[in-house]
Structure 1
Amino acid sequence: MFASDHVLTPSQLNTLARDLLEGTFSQVLVEGEIGNLSRPASGHLYFTLKDARAQVRCALFKPKSQWLRFAPREGLRVQARGRLTLYEARGDYQLVLDTMEEAGEGALRQALEALKARLAKEGLFDAGRKRALPGFVRRLAVLTSPSGAVIRDITSVLRRRFPLLEVELLPVPVQGEGAAAQIKAMLQRADACGRYDAILLARGGGSLEDLWAFNDEALARAIAASTTPVVSAIGHETDFSLSDFAADLRAPTPSAAAELLVPDAAALSARLAGLQRQLLSLQANALRQRMQHLDRSFLRLHALRPQARLAMLAQRAAQARLRLDHVMQQCLERARGVLRHADATLRAHHPRQRLQRQRERLLALENRPQILMAQRLQRDAQHLRGLARSLHAISPLATVARGYAILQQDDGRVVRSVDDVAPGDAVRARLRDGELQLRVLEPRASE
C-alpha cells in the first residue's frame, strides 16, 4: 500500500495494477459471446467477450489459436480460459487466453471422456477383438448422408483407385436428434444381411455437438458386436469419437478411408504384370526342360538303330586299331632301348676296355700312400698345435707373464706357504723378464 501523498507515474501505476491483476486472476474461465473479432496478419486473434451488461477484451495468440477445433465468428458463444492482465501502454486490462471452446462443449467433452473410460475398462476398444479387413473388398456399404460432400469424395476416390468395387450407399442422418439410433439400426441390418465385405461409417468435420451422434454408447457397442469389419472416418484428422475407438479401423478422413479400403488400380496392374511375367518365365523354363528331355530321348532312340549301332562298332574298332598301333610303337621303342643297352654292355666288357680300367686303378693305388701320409701328417700337426695351446694355458710361465712371480728356495723347490721358509732364508723370485734374490725377514700368515 502506498501513502496518499506518494506520487506515481502512469507507468508505475499501470505496472502495479498489472501485477495485482495477474496475481489475483492468474487463471479464470469466462463464458460469453464473441464480438469485434479481428484477425491481423500476425495470426493472433483479438476480440471481446460480452454479455448483456459488460464486455472484456481478449487476445488469443497465434501458437495457441492453431489448436482451436472450430472457427471463431461473430456472435458465437464460447468458454475461454486464461489469465487477466493489463496492457500498460494504454491502461486497458484484457484476458490473455490459453484455450477456447464453444460453450457447451466442456460438459459434453467431460461426459465423453467418462463414457470412453468406462467402455475402455470393459475392453470394448481392445486391439485383440478387432477384425482384420479382407485382402480385397468386393462390396462395400457406406453409411453416411446422401446429400453431403462426403459421399462424393468417397466415390471419387474409389472410382479412381478401384472401379471394380461395388459401392452401396446406405443413407443415414449424421447429426441431430435420433441420428445415433438410425445409424445403429442401419449398421445392424447391413451386418445381418451378410452381403458386404466391409462397412464404412463416414461424416465430415464439425464441432463436438455436430459429431455427437457418433459418441453414442449403443452405437459404439453395435460397432464392436458387428461380424462385418467396420471402418470409421468421422470428422477431420484431429477429431476422435467413440465410433473411431470401437471400429476395426480408424481413418483420419473419409477420403483416406476410401484409399485404405481398396488397392491402387495402377499398383495392382503393375503387380499383375509382374505375376504374368513370372508365369511366362516359369512356362518357358518348363518348356525348355521338356525339349531337353525329348532331345535326350531322341538320341537314345537313334543310338538303338542298327545303322547307328554298326557305326558305333566301327568307331570302336578304329579306336582299338589306333590303341594297338600305339602299343606296338611303344614295344618297338623299348626293344631298341634294350638293344642299345646290350651293345653298351658288350663294349664295356671288351678286353681292351678292361685293361685300360686296370691301368687307371693301378695309378690311383700308386698315389694313394702319399695322399694318406700327407693327410695323416696334417692331422698330427693340428693335434700338436692344440696340445701346445693347452700346455701354454696352464704353464707357470704364462702366469708369470701376466704379472705374477714364482718364489723358489735355493734347492729349486717352490715356496707354497709361509711355513716353508724361516727368517733369514734366501729365496729367489722368478719374474717375466728375470729373477730377484730375496731374503725372508719374518714369515707372516694372512689374517
Structure 2
Amino acid sequence: MHRLILVITYRGDFIQPIIAKAGPAGYGIYPMHEIPLLQVSELTGLIKNLLEGSLPAVRVEGELSNWRPAPSGHVYCTLKDRDATIQAVMFKGKALRLAFRPRDGMRVRASGAITVYAARGQYQLVIESLEAAGEGDLQALLDQRKQRLAAEGLFDLDRKQPLPELPERVAVITSPTGAAIRDILNVLRRRNAGIRITILPAVVQGDEAPAALVRQLATANRYRLGEVIIIGRGGGSLEDLLAFSDEAVVRAVAASAIPIISAVGHETDWCLVDYAADLRAPTPSAAAELVSASSGDIRQRTATARRNLEHGVSARLSRAKYLLGSFSSQSLALQFERLVQPFRQRVDYSREALEYGIRARALVDRNRLARADVLLRAADPQAILARGFAVIRKQGSRQAIRASGELRADDTIQITLATGSAGAIITETRA
C-alpha cells in the first residue's frame, strides 16, 4: 500500500504541485491530470504536512483584534493589516507569561508556527511569544479623538448629572433583538415591575449605527421619554463597538439633558461614550440594576447589615472570649466597642437612607393627592352654586338652560340655588 505525499516542483517561473506515492523503493510521481481520488481527511493531511513543514517558525507583525480569553485559559484572536487577516491562538501556559495586557487595536509582533486545524480545514498561527509593537491604526485614531474631546471638556466630572434615586421611567437605546435588551428587561421586571420602559430601537453596529444612535438620543430628550437613559449593546471587538466611539454619538451623549448610563459590552470593553456618559455600567444587566434600586433594596440592605452585625458580633465575641480570656472586663468591653462601632454606623446610615427614601416618596404622593383634591373641589357643582350662581331647568326636565333662546314666554322653570330651589314662569325673553 502506498502513502500519498504532496510535492512542490518548479518549472520555469511557476510552481507545479504534484502528488507522489511513497513506497519502500522511494516515490513515484503522478502528473496532476492523473491525480488519484482523495478523501477529505487525506487532502487536509497533505495540506497540513505542507504548511507545517514549510513554515515551522514565523514572526509576524499586525494589529490585534477580537482578543478573546477562553474559560480554559487559552486565548483566541485575529492579527490583521490593511489587506488580510489570520486567526491565531495562544495556549494557556504562554498566555500566563505575558508581560503586558493585550487589547484590541494594539500593534503586536507574534512569534510562533503555522498549524492546520484539520477538523475545520483552517490554518492558524500558534503564538509562542507576543510583544507590543505600538498602537494599531484604529486604536491610535480613537486615542487622538479621546484626547481632543477631553480637551474640549466633554469628559469633565463637573458635567456629570446625578442619577435619579427612584426613577419611574427609563428609556433604553439599543438593538431590539440583541442580548442586551433581553438582559435589561429581565432585570427591571424582576427588581421593579412598576418601572415604565421605553425602548428606542437603533442599529448598534456598522455604518448606519452612529446616525441611528444620535437620532434616538435626540428623540428621548425632545419628548422626555425617561428620567434616565440606558444606551448600550452586548460585547464585541474594537471594530464591533466603533459606533459608540463615533464623535457625533459622543457629543450627543455629553449634551443630553437626561442623565445617561453607558452599558456597552462587557466589563473589559471601553469606548468613548463611557467617558461622556454620566455613569458607566460594566454590562447592560448592571445598568438595569443601577436604575431599579428602590426602598425595598434599602430595606433589604438594612436587614442584611443587621444580620451581618448579629453574626459578626457573635463570632467575634466567641473569638474574643477564647483569645482574651485573661483580659479584664474593662478592656474586653473596650475591644467590643471597637468591633461593633463600624457595624452600628452602617446600620445608622442604612436606616437614615431608608427613612429619607420613604419620606421623599410619601411627600410626592401627598402632593399629588393635594393637587387632586384642589381640582376636585374646584369642579364641585355645589361650590359653584355657593359663589352666587344658579341652575335653571324647564319644569320636568333635567337639562340645564344655557341660553335665553331655549325658553319661551309662559314656560315654567325650576331654579336650583346653593340652598334650596324656586319655581318661576317666564314672562318674556331677550337675546
TM tier, smaller: 0.3 to 0.5
Q: TM-score normalized by structure 1?
A: 0.44
Higher helix residue share: 1
Larger radius of gyration between Structure 1 and Structure 2: 1
Higher strand residue share: 2
Q: TM-score normalized by structure 2?
A: 0.45
